[in-house]
Amino acid sequence: MKTYDIGVIPGDGIGPEVIDEGLKVLRAVMKIEGFDCNIITYPHSGAHYLKTKELATDNLIDEWSNLDAVFLGAIGHPDVEVGLVERSVILGLRFGLDLYINLRPIKLYAKHMCPIKEKGPEDIDFVIVRENTEGLYSQIGGFLKQGTPDETSIVTGVYTRKGVERAVRYAFELAKERSKEKSTPPSVTMVDKANAIRSHDLWARTFAEVGEEYKDTEQDHAYVDACTMWMIKNPEWFDVIVTNNLFGDIITDLGAILQGGMGIAASGNIHPGKTSMFEPIHGSAPKYAGKNVACPLGAIMAAGMMLDFLGEKNGGKRIEDAVANLLSSGVIPSADARSGLSTTQVGNMVTEAVYKNAES
Ligand code: IPM
Ligand code: MG
């Protein structure tokens, strides 16, 4: 039987609760599709750091790089220095495993979940390809004269031709694939701020040059400020958006709201052909932790993306179909902590739907 080595990092806050439900659904798909997962659980989190002072070491990152995939819940603890464990574990994985694509689908499954009036599932179905290893996340910079009136802080935005090109190419290839599935022309929009930040001209030139190889693909450009407006006003214009790390971080939260909230948004941190990491977009949400109210759909959808990545396309589709049906029929009324359903109930409902759909 095909067996995948999956590292699981439940993390902090609601992370462990949503991961449990993701694994529950994953096990159902395993049984139906006939493959196995060897689950290796790692304790790394803010809570674990408080107890042990342990962060993600180089050795650990090496160990993770020998797995088939990593499934992560959320990192972030109110009693730990801001961003310390996030940078160690999440950015450790992204940079350490060179996961240069952060893939974030924005798809609305039920009209009532969309906060934009007159927009429905036919209008909101696009993907954001976020460059994941460069930009303002480079960690190059620091503080001078810290804590004095002359304090200076500097951060360097890093954009390499190679880094930009591989993200742009990924976006063009993805648009081609999606165009086959959706029977619409392939379309890529590159989002930058090259009018004010001249170094983004590298993005503009790379996009134009690589675009020469994709003449059948509609190619568009938007400055990030305008992009946020178009995402609300005309989300139907977008199919694949490609952008730098920080802009991608920002516009994917906006995208999550278009599709019904952070509770359903999932993402893949991908290096094609190598160990990749899958996580819900939401954070640890300490105020909901331990209450069994957080929506696990983001984690469940991330598990679906992981299967897709591993080549278990049918398994990934089983998860997406089950979630789509439960949402569009209103059986699961919303993807947030106010759905009236517990974390466990939502996980059970998706699991049952996956089994039921396999019987029929
Ligand atoms: C995300 C998160 C992370 C990011 C944080 C937790 C470091 O916001 O995955 O979008 O900024 O990339
Ligand atoms: Mg974010």
Q: Where are the domains of the chain?
A: 1-100+262-360, 125-258
Residue 22 near residue 296, CB atoms below 8 Å: yes
d(Cα 141, Cα 238) in Å, to the nearest integer? Answer: 34
pLDDT in tens, the chain (360 residues): 999 999 999 999 999 999 999 999 999 999 999 999 999 999 999 999 999 999 999 999 999 999 999 999 999 999 999 999 999 999 999 999 999 999 999 999 999 999 999 999 999 999 999 999 999 999 999 999 999 999 999 999 999 999 999 999 999 999 999 999 999 999 999 999 999 999 999 999 999 999 999 999 999 999 999 999 999 999 999 999 999 999 999 999 999 999 999 999 999 999 999 999 999 999 999 999 999 999 999 999 999 999 999 999 999 999 999 999 999 999 999 999 999 999 999 999 999 999 999 998
**Residue 6: alpha-carbon gap to chain centroid:** 17
Pocket lining for ligand 1, CB < 6 angstroms: 86, 90, 249, 281
Best of 249, 262, 282 for a ligand 1 pocket test (most atoms within 8 Å of beta carbon)? 249
DSSP 8-state symbol, 45: S
Atom 8, ligand 1: residue with shortest CA distance? 249
The CATH number for 125-258, chosen from 3.30.70.890, 1.10.1060.10, 3.40.718.10, 3.40.50.300, is: 3.40.718.10
User: CATH topology of 1-100+262-360 equal to that of 125-258?
Assistant: yes
Tens digit of each residue's pLDDT (9 = 90 or more) over 64-116: 999 999 999 999 999 999 999 999 999 999 999 999 999 999 999 999 999 99
Tens digit of each residue's pLDDT (9 = 90 or more) over 37-71: 999 999 999 999 999 999 999 999 999 999 999 99
**Residues in Cβ contact with 209 at an 8 Å cutoff, skipping those fewer than 6 apart:** none
DSSP strand pairing (240-243 vs 218-223): unpaired
The CATH number for 1-100+262-360, chosen from 3.40.718.10, 3.80.10.10, 3.40.50.720, 1.20.1090.10, is: 3.40.718.10
**Residues in Cβ contact with 190 at an 8 Å cutoff, skipping those fewer than 6 apart:** 168, 171, 203, 204, 207, 219, 220, 221, 222, 241, 242, 243
Phi (first) and psi of residue 259, to 5 degrees = -95, 10
DSSP 8-state symbol, 80: S
Atom 12, ligand 1: residue with shortest CA distance? 249
